[in-house]
Amino acid sequence: MTITIRDVAEAAGVSTATVSRALRGLPNVDETTRAKVKAVALSMDYVISPSASRLASGRTGSIGVVTPQVAGWYFSTVLSGVEAVLQQAGMDLLLMSVGDESSPVPRNLVAPRLNRRVDGVITIALAPQDAQLQSVLSLHLPTSLIGAAIAGVSTAGIDDVAAARTATQHLINLGHRRIAVITGAPPGEFFTAPHARYLGFTDLMREAGLAVDPALETRGYFTIAGAESAMTKLLAERERPTAVFAMSDEMAFGAMRSLRNHGLHPGRDVSVIGIDGHDMSELLDLTTVAQPVQELGGIAAEALMRQIRSDDGQVPTHVQVPTQLIVRGSTAPPAN
Amino acid sequence: MTITIRDVAEAAGVSTATVSRALRGLPNVDETTRAKVKAVALSMDYVISPSASRLASGRTGSIGVVTPQVAGWYFSTVLSGVEAVLQQAGMDLLLMSVGDESSPVPRNLVAPRLNRRVDGVITIALAPQDAQLQSVLSLHLPTSLIGAAIAGVSTAGIDDVAAARTATQHLINLGHRRIAVITGAPPGEFFTAPHARYLGFTDLMREAGLAVDPALETRGYFTIAGAESAMTKLLAERERPTAVFAMSDEMAFGAMRSLRNHGLHPGRDVSVIGIDGHDMSELLDLTTVAQPVQELGGIAAEALMRQIRSDDGQVPTHVQVPTQLIVRGSTAPPAN
DNA sequence: ATGAAAGCGCTAACAG
DNA sequence: CTGTTAGCGCTTTCAT
């Protein structure tokens, strides 16, 4: 029924070993032989059996990508960067989503599902202390992290502290003094983007001699809706902020929405800045600190491939790509 | 080094066959034996080797998901629906992106990459005549289509004609007579969403006794930027349209952006309606015909699983989920 | 440069 | 209910 390497070997008048070598481009095969084998294989529509190949070689030819969610701008954009590189490297991409830590029902660990089926793993935005990430690391597979840094593991990301500083600096430069922040997760819970960005914010505020009013710190949970109510809460303050730093563009969108619902105009009445460089930020005229999200995925995937190919303990790489302040209409000098 | 089924068998004092049965929950195993085997396997951290299992059984336990792009709201949202179902079904998800047909360099066909490594395939928004889809179908694997219909294959989608009619009707009901359309791909090239939606539009216009002015038909290529310039072109017409039907929300966003750049206000000056129910549509106050995108992914995945489980030729299912008109500020009666 | 042969770790009859 | 025994289709020494 299905045609095997032996059929090809017979048809080509060589051994299965030679077919295997020829088709995989291994050395020590006469080029004439190789050409013939290839031709025969092609004519017979021969396709190598991955399962058999994997079993015999121990290599799976696939990479697991672990992410807290598959929908959402950031995740899907990173994923597309990863996918492009893996495809080009001839690797299969196994997608596994793990709810994030805050999910009510603790999902099963991914590690078992990853265990014997991938040659390496890429995680997206999993915090170092996350149980899922820990379980992945315990597999001792080549691993590459996106948006989180751990010593000894390849990572790709931005300098979150610097990005937050850039955003804050921009607001201060415009003349803002009363600046609110919409954080994602509670800062400090994990040392990851929210925490680092919070640090960058408070550091710079302190350096500028500005107070960080606890009443102006709210949580937006990295969602539009969450940030919208956070902003609404901020607007209820007796002394409103003149500017808001949202830790993600989507949260900035939510803040802008709240402003509009209150008859306020982003930029004119209250300045809003985000971090991301979301596809929609241009459309919504949002000032933001852009990060090359897709590129991050590509970088992580390439680091992983390098690690797998030179299967000795290749030194893990830590790539930090620059961010870029993009000024648009949502930020302006304070009205008063 | 790695522990195999035989280690477990010996430790448990049974044969490998029994271990295999016990662990997979097959019948004809004494529950006492099963419990013991499970305990031993657990204590030894035994994990079944997928490659070996696949080779021996012929089943891969994984599903290929073929999509024109992995980033983008529609695709990532569908994908998340698919992923949820597959994960719950214990299936691996192999993600493969194929550029779309319009890509300059014709990518390699996915079929070979899919060939012996999946038990079934789900395609997202691949048109019936698309060479990639054809190659997938030629594999004769259980297949489930999202956003495209082909007889004999399970499909999940919306009634694109009806959705377009609903959108058009809404504009007509508001009193619009001069209605423009921003299509995606050139209509007719493939019989899929763009074509069906175009049909719905023209049908209803005709029924309403309204002319479809060729000058008011433009292409937005399903992108924000594309639609923006399409809208700009429409605004240059001597006789501007009072309303625009964009075949996707993202194109509607682009149209709205163009309006704003021209000092016009969506709804007040020109009405805009889209199709999708994009996450951002609420934020941008866009009237749209919403489709349950994530659900479509789930439905397709479930249909596929059913097909695979009852491995006889399960009758393909054709699910068409309803859409819903969501009226927001971007549509209003014509100004004049 | 090529071939022979021994597995890789599991599943699936087939016996018992 | 459980064990025996062939493979599944390829890779990989080890010879030649």
Distance B97 CA to D8 C1' (A): 30
What does the domain layout of chain A look like in residue ranges? Answer: 5-57, 62-158+292-320, 160-290
The size of the A-B interface in CB pairs under 8 A is 114
Whole-model pTM: value is 0.93
Q: Can you tell me which residue has the tokens 């897709």? A: A294
CA distance A280 to chain B (A): 8
Rounded to 5°, the CA angle A265-A271-A273 comes to 120
User: What average pLDDT score do residues A224-234 get?
Assistant: 94
Q: pLDDT tens, B290-329? A: 999 999 999 999 999 999 987 556 678 999 999 999 999 9
Q: pLDDT tens, B61-119? A: 999 999 999 998 999 999 999 999 999 999 999 999 997 655 555 678 899 899 999 99
Complete DSSP assignment for B283-323: TTT-EEEE--HHHHHHHHHHHHHHHHHSTTTPPPPEEEE--
Rounded to 5°, the CA angle B290-B291-B293 comes to 130
Residues 1-40 of B with CB under 7 A from strand D: 13-18, 21, 27-30, 32-34
Q: Tell if the CB–CB gap between A76 and B70 is shorter than 8 Å.
A: yes
CA distance B198 to chain A (A): 26
Give the bridge partners for A335, in sequence order.
none
* Mean pLDDT, chain A, whole residue set: 91
Q: Is the pLDDT of residue A193 over 90?
A: no
The partner residue sitting opposite A93, judged by closest CB among B55, B95, B254, is B95
The bases of strand C with some atom under 7 A from any protein CB are 1-5, 7-13
| pLDDT confidence of residue B40 | 92
Query: What burial letters (b/e) apply to B292-318, b meaning 16+ CB within 10 Å?
Result: bbbebbbbbbbbbbbbbeeeeeeebbe
Q: Name chain A contacts of B94, Cβ cutoff 8 Å.
A: 62, 92-95
CA distance A213 to chain B (A): 29
| pLDDT confidence of residue A204 | 92
Q: Write the single-letter amino acid at A279.
A: D
- pLDDT band of residue B240 (cuts 50, 70, 90) is very high
Q: Tell if the CB–CB gap between A257 and B283 is shorter than 8 Å.
A: yes
Distance B236 CA to D8 C1' (A): 67
Q: pLDDT tens, A132-166? A: 999 999 999 999 999 988 888 999 999 999 999 99
User: What average pLDDT score do residues B249-274 get?
Assistant: 95
What distance in Å separates the CA atoms of residue A332 and residue A271, rounded to the nearest whole number?
6
| pLDDT confidence of residue B108 | 81
H-only helix segments in B58-186: 73-88, 111-114, 131-137, 160-173
Distance A49 CA to C7 C1' (A): 17
| pLDDT confidence of residue B99 | 75
Disruptive mutation site among A280, A284, A285, A296 for chain B (greatest number of B CBs within 10 Å):
A280
User: What average pLDDT score do residues A90-102 get?
Assistant: 85
Handedness of CA B306, B150, B313, B63 (dihedral sign): negative
Q: Which residue numbers of B have CB closer than 8 Å to A's CBs?
A: 2, 47-52, 54-55, 60, 62, 69-73, 75-77, 79-80, 83-84, 87, 92-97, 112-113, 115-117, 224, 253-254, 256-257, 279-280, 283-284, 294
| pLDDT confidence of residue B186 | 62
Are the folds of B5-57 and B160-290 the same?
no
Element (DSSP H or E) covering residue B11: helix B5-12
Q: Is the pLDDT of residue B267 over 70?
A: yes
What distance in Å separates the CA atoms of residue B181 and residue A193, rounded to the nearest whole number?
42
| pLDDT confidence of residue B247 | 96
| pLDDT confidence of residue A299 | 97
What distance in Å separates the CA atoms of residue B243 and residue B332, rounded to the nearest whole number?
9
| Architecture label for domain B62-158+292-320 | 3-Layer(aba) Sandwich (3.40)
Q: Tell if the CB–CB gap between B116 and A49 is shorter than 8 Å.
A: yes
Element (DSSP H or E) covering residue B255: helix B249-261
Distance B6 CA to D5 C1' (A): 15
The partner residue sitting opposite B80, judged by closest CB among A50, A69, A112, is A69
What distance in Å separates the CA atoms of residue B123 and residue B297, rounded to the nearest whole number?
10
Q: Which residue of B has its CA nearest to A74?
A: B71
Residue nearest to nucleotide C13 (CA to C1'): B17
What distance in Å separates the CA atoms of residue A235 and residue B131, rounded to the nearest whole number?
55
For the domain made up of A160-290, give the CATH fold.
Answer: Rossmann fold (3.40.50)
**Whether A44 CB is under 7 Å from strand D:** no
Distance B46 CA to D1 C1' (A): 24
User: What average pLDDT score do residues B35-51 get?
Assistant: 93
Q: What percent of chain A has pLDDT over 90?
A: 79
| Residue B25 CB-density burial (10 A; 0-12 exposed, 13-18 middle, 19+ buried) | exposed
Q: Which residue of B has its CA nearest to A111?
A: B47
What one-character DSSP code corresponds to residue A221? T
Footprint on protein of nucleic strand C, Cβ below 7 A: A 13-18, 21, 27-30, 32-34, 52, 55-56; B 2, 4-6, 16-17, 20, 23-24, 46, 48-49, 52-53, 55-59
Residues 54-93 of A with CB under 7 A from strand D: 55-58
- The larger pLDDT score, comparing residue A189 to residue B263, is at B263
Residue nearest to nucleotide D6 (CA to C1'): B56
Q: Tell if the CB–CB gap between A96 and B97 is shorter than 8 Å.
A: no
Q: Which residue of A has its CA nearest to B94?
A: A94
The bases of strand D with some atom under 7 A from any protein CB are 1-5, 7-13
| pLDDT confidence of residue A89 | 94
Q: Which residue numbers of A have CB closer than 8 Å to B's CBs?
A: 2, 47-52, 54-55, 60, 62, 69-73, 75-77, 79-80, 83-84, 87, 92-97, 112-113, 115-117, 224, 253-254, 256-257, 279-280, 283-284, 294
**Whether A24 CB is under 7 Å from strand D:** yes
Find out whether B143 and B304 touch, Cβ atoms under 8 Å.
Answer: yes
Find out whether B194 and B219 touch, Cβ atoms under 8 Å.
Answer: no
| Residue A25 CB-density burial (10 A; 0-12 exposed, 13-18 middle, 19+ buried) | exposed
Find out whether A271 and A334 touch, Cβ atoms under 8 Å.
Answer: yes
Q: Name chain B contacts of A96, Cβ cutoff 8 Å.
A: 87, 93
Q: Name chain A contacts of B54, Cβ cutoff 8 Å.
A: 50-51, 54
Q: Tell if the CB–CB gap between B79 and A93 is shorter than 8 Å.
A: no
Find out whether A85 and A305 touch, Cβ atoms under 8 Å.
Answer: yes
* Mean pLDDT, chain B, whole residue set: 91
CATH of domain A5-57: 1.10.260.40
Q: Tell if the CB–CB gap between B95 and A97 is shorter than 8 Å.
A: no
